[in-house]
Structure 1
Amino acid sequence: MLQLRYVTEEQLAGFDQYQYSAVDTNPLSVYVMQHLWNRIVKIVPLWIAPNLLTFSGFLLLLINYFVLSFYDWDYTASGSQLIPNWVWWFAALSTFSAYALDSIDGKHARRTQSSSPLGELFDHGLDSWATSLFTISWFSVCASPGGSPGLSEHTMFLFLSIVLLNFMLSHWEKYNTGVLFLPWGYDLSQVTLVTGYLLTAIVGVEIWYKPLVFGYYVTTVSLTLIIACSVFLSLPQTFYNIYTAYQRKTLKQDSLYEALLPLVSPALLFSLLTVWVALSPCNILIKQPRLFLFMVGVAFSSVACRVIVCQMSNTRSESFHYLLFPLALVVFAAVTGLLGRLEESVFMAFTALTTMAHVHYGVCVGRQLSQHLNIHIFSMKKRAQE
């Protein structure tokens, strides 16, 4: 594989000075889950590299996503009860395992004295992709193309967009404050997902298609809750933390423009995607709901990883992600009718190229930091000096 040097010399120097700082005030995490993770991490052999735990969790999510894709490509199998029951048991097991591995990798790194900026970047970079995989896999449980009682395609796109933007808010907050305030919604969402898969396996998918109190369905309630939590919990907490840093004169950025710069590319990304969804002549989201949502997740992760690199290296965020330019061309050609019947084919090609480019970026950045820090990604051994 052709290795490009995506990380600049200035950023590499920034990684040399990096110190991890995080705050976790979530009661579920502090009083319940952390005690469980402290017990589980003790059974992990000391020779296993922390990044191997991180990557194993991500692979489990990918496998779960591909299994659900095989049985439910267009998000219609759940309502017809065509998905075998073992799939839901596997989804619960893989989701919990990925959650556990993501929670103990840092503990294992400190336990083996192998913590490094590469480990954090590897963790958060994969998290930026895993966030979408968690979400679009869950849609197989409660999707209902066409609308109520399940989630319609457009509702799924809205749901995923809100989840991903919440992820970006956490890292935008860290870009400005230097501290990662772990979101309360993460542990709650993981416990909810595992519980939901278990309920589906035990009771059946019909549980999600029955109205609750006042005739509202679970899907409607869940979307309302995630919007409410974003507007009334996540956003106010983020602004409060940034304001507190401003009051203490510990803000990393010295102007409003620099502070808002990491949000420009995500805002443009979701604006372009929304235009495509709303004006697509062939209704691309309706035609290819799973693949379109997968592309959204990959494109977001590509943007988010650049922000995370700049945030960790204490360097200036890029103004525009390169992906926005080909995306803008594709969206323009699609919505104006220039692509005609080729829209779906061009969309598939764009998705494949975006995925390959993002994987290539991740591999190259991992190798570059591995060489710079003189450590192996998946081994506890030090690299040989060149």
Structure 2
Amino acid sequence: MPILAYKEQRILSPQQLRKLSEHKYSCFSASLLDPLLQPWWNWLVSQTPLWLAPNLITIVGLILNIVTTLILICYSPNGVEPPPRWTCFLCALGLFVYQSLDSIDGKQARRTNTSSPLGELFDHGCDSISTIFVALSACISCQLGHYPNWLFFQCFCAIALFYCAHWQTYVSGTMRFGRIDVTEAQFSIIAIHLVSAVLGPEIWLTKIGIGNIELWYGPAITTIVCGVISLTYVFSVVVAGGVGKNGSTVAGTSVLSPSIPLTLVVLPALMIAQKSPENIFTEHASVFILAFGMVAAKITNKLVIAHMTKAEMEYLDWSLLGPALLFLNQYFNCIVPEIWLLWFTLAWGTQDLLRYCAQVCLEICQHLRIDLFRIPYGPKVLNTSSVGSQSNVGADKNGGTSHRKSKSKAH
């Protein structure tokens, strides 16, 4: 398919747009922290101007989260050099602000009577990007660059768990949160950053106990345990069958079909990192994670849209061009410097993700006759007490170095 045609064609079909209009958000949450944080979120949304669009709240939090993480990355791009303590504090602050804003966007939508399927989709999209930066920042703060294999595992575990959360939603039709899930993971990462800010990032390399176990093993093992529990639940849902005909997904497709796009991201990443003659992952860890993270965010967004529009998910995607070139380059003994192709993968994946999200939002806005970042009319304010009493429905979760998403409220 020519690139030009690819850019000009509409992404969503009329049938998908119709299904999107009929989409009803379904969520179940058993989070331990969410009820405790409700008073804070209710107070915060009550201080938010009524003219402020919910999606604008979400994007501001995401931008702040990305900027604080990029500052940390600038000082420790490979997670080996200990970054200044203030950069860790900035990351903690940025994540707290993002978590708070991400938790009130749905409340603001209900408060201003501007709820729509676009709000849910936009929130999931922002969380898919945030997951990458939050996971990477936590690894840098823990100085995991000294252990590249662990750094790779932690970041891709976050990416995979985020995707799998939407996989089970695509199968069951309902987003589910456990007792220890996104909110708990986010505050765990905030705690990691604060420890690094107060005691210095080097504290995580301190050896304790008889076996001289370093402190970073604590968060790492916690990630493994929580990840195994989450994946066990996801696969139990998949094996049990979906809500579609004959146990299929909401779109009537195989419950195993979403595994293909994820495999096309994670497997090449693992092979490229392990077989690189230039040690591309070890030498350029942050660029590598961000590059493949953008590709993963793209396929996750496509899965979310497939769920909300009850459509079949395409397996191949233009964002996979970068990983494919890296893989082929290694196969032909690196005729092109790997770092060139890695930067191309990051640039191509980022622009492809942004173009895709912008086009989808544009098409939905046109179909629903709404604005993305503006409330085009005087908002019809709901009773504030009813807004405060509504549970802050989360959607998927960004887990600590085991992210899935952050509260994706259906606005």
The TM-score, its normalising length taken from structure 1, stands at: 0.89
Q: Quick check: 1:225 aligned with 2:222?
A: yes
Q: Say yes or no: does 1:199 pair with 2:204.
A: no
Deviation at 1:36, TM superposition (A): 2.4
Contact 2:242 2:255 in 1 (8 A): no
2:167 alignment partner, one of 172, 195, 202: 172
Deviations 1:223-271 (A, max 9, x none): 222122222x212322444567759989553899621111211112111
Distance in 2, Cα, partners of 1:246 & 1:349:
38
Note closer, same or farther for the CA distance 1:3–1:363 as it changes in structure 2 (3 Å cut): farther
- 1:181 aligns to what SS in structure 2? strand
Count of aligned pairs between the two proteins:
370
Shift of 1:207: 2.3
Distance between the aligned counterparts of 1:201 and 1:326, measured in 2?
A: 36
CA contact (8 A) 1:200 1:207 kept: yes
* Cα separation, 2, equivalents of 1:248 and 1:165: 24
Query: What's the counterpart of residue 13 of structure 2?
Result: 8
Measured in 2, the distance between the counterparts of 1:252 and 1:134 equals 33
The SS at the match of 1:23 is strand
Q: Is the partner of 2:314 in helix, strand or coil?
A: coil
d(CA) in 1 for partners of 2:253, 2:81? 47
**1:26-51 CA distance string (max 9 Å, x none):** 1222x312332222221111111000
Show the counterpart of 1:56: 60
- The Cα RMSD (Å) is 2.4
Question: Quick check: 1:136–1:290 contact (8 Å CA) kept in 2?
Answer: yes
Corresponding residue number in structure 2 for 1:355: 350
* Helix, strand or coil at the partner of 1:229: helix
Q: How many angstroms apart in 2 are the aligned matches of 1:256 and 1:51?
A: 31
Aligned pairs (5 A) from 1:22-61: 22-29=27-34, 31-61=35-65
CA contact (8 A) 1:178 1:252 kept: no
Is the contact made by 1:370 and 1:377 (CA closer than 8 Å) also made in structure 2?
yes
TM-score, normalising length: structure 2:
0.84
Are 2:194 and 1:186 aligned? Answer: no
* Residues 286-340 of structure 1: CA deviation (Å, up to 9, x unaligned): 1211101111211100111111110111111113233335522431222431425
SS at match of 2:216: helix
Q: Is the 8 A contact 2:251 2:311 kept in 1?
A: no
How far apart in 2 are the matches of 1:138 and 1:118?
Answer: 30
Gaps of 5+ in 1: none
Match of 2:316 in 1: 320
| Corresponding residue for residue 405 of structure 2 | none
Residue pairs, 1:287-306, within 5 angstroms: 287-306=283-302
Residues 261 and 318 in structure 1, CA contact (< 8 A), matched pair in contact too = no
Higher relative contact order (CA 8 A, sep 6+): 2
Determine if contact 1:276/1:331 at 8 Å carries over to the other structure: yes
2:239 and 2:40 map into 1 onto residues whose CA distance is 34
**2:75 corresponds to:** 71
In structure 1, the residue corresponding to 2:255 is in which secondary structure?
helix
Instruction: Using the TM superposition, name which of 2-11 and 313-322 deviates more.
Output: 2-11
Structure 1 residue 108: Cα displacement: 1.4
Deviates most, 170-179 or 240-249: 240-249
Q: Distance in 2 between matches of 1:225 and 1:353?
A: 34
Hey, what's the Cα distance between the residues in 1 that align with 2:252 and 2:307? 16
Q: CA 1:6/1:198 → structure 2, altered by over 3 Å: closer, same or farther?
A: same
1:218 partner letter: L
Report the CA distance shift for 1:336/1:143 in structure 2 as closer, same or farther (over 3 A): farther
Check conservation: 1:280, 1:335, Cα contact below 8 A: no
Give the CA deviation at 1:350.
Answer: 2.3
1:116-195 map, 5 Å:
116-145=116-145, 147=146, 152-183=147-178, 184-195=180-191
Higher percent of residues as helix: 1
